Amino acid sequence: MSGSIDFYFDFSSPYGYFASTQIEALAQRHGRTVIWHPMLLGVAFKTTGGAPLPMVPLKGPYSLHDFERSARFHGIAYRRPAQFPLSTQLAARAMLWVRQTQGDAKAVEFAHAVYRKYFVDGADISQADTIIGVSAALGLDGAAVIEGAGSGSIKEALRTDVDAAIARGVFGSPFMIADDEPFWGFDRFEQLDAFLKNGSI
């Protein structure tokens, strides 16, 4: 088997961030590549009736604790941002624009930088200023990124991507699909690893 792994994530998802730090290494171990798909969980929630974890009674406080504990357990830098959760539409659109104009590698670099900016530095990534700063640090023209992210074609591209993800059954973050086999959650990396190794579970 040699197909790519589809990696779906929302920029406001801590588990998506954790997964983003390890998905490339996991794929490389099995000679696979990764296709990164920024997702809007809010749209999926309209289908599943879900809600952002921190908003859910009982589950919310537990989740905030589990984010921090899971980060320590896996040795991943993490700090709960002041603004959490937040809108990730701008960050997702910006990533699509970076991909369209600068290619896949730069887009993945951009995704890593946005996640770090949010979950390590605690910046508000829903704000244009933050995205401009992230872009500049990668040698991109921040103003051009914001303008591109706001274009009709990029808005439409994200809408199409998110609808296609939901049509494919993606409802959470992170969500991985390899050879049509779906895996939801950073805590399914072990099964994904076994699946890629053995071709089945």
Binding site for its own copies (CB under 8 A): 44, 47-51, 56-59, 61-62, 65-66, 69-70, 72-73, 166, 169-172, 182, 184-185, 187-188, 190-191, 194, 201
First-last CA distance in the chain: 15
CB of 58 to its own copies, least distance (A): 4
The least distance separating its own copies from the CB of residue 1, rounded to whole angstroms, comes to 17
How many Cα neighbours within 13 Å face the side chain of 65? 5
SS3 200: coil
Nearer to its own copies, 25 or 58 (CB): 58
Question: CB of residue 110 vs its own copies: minimum separation in angstroms?
Answer: 28
Question: What letter does residue 123 receive in the DSSP assignment?
Answer: -
Minimum CB separation from its own copies for residue 2, in Å?
22
- In the bound state with its own copies, the residue whose beta carbon lies nearer, of 95 and 176, is 176
Question: How many CB atoms sit inside 10 A of residue 190's CB?
Answer: 11
Nearer to its own copies, 104 or 190 (CB): 190
Q: At 23, list the tokens.
A: 């998905």
Nearer to its own copies (CB atom), residue 79 or residue 129: 79
In whole angstroms, the minimum distance from the beta carbon of 75 to its own copies comes to 11
Contact 179, 166 (CB under 8 A): no
E strands, 94-146, are none
Residue closer to its own copies, measured from CB, 50 or 150: 50
Sheet hosting strand 5-9, strand order edge to edge? 34-38, 5-9, 175-178, 181-184
Query: 3-state DSSP call for residue 111?
Result: helix
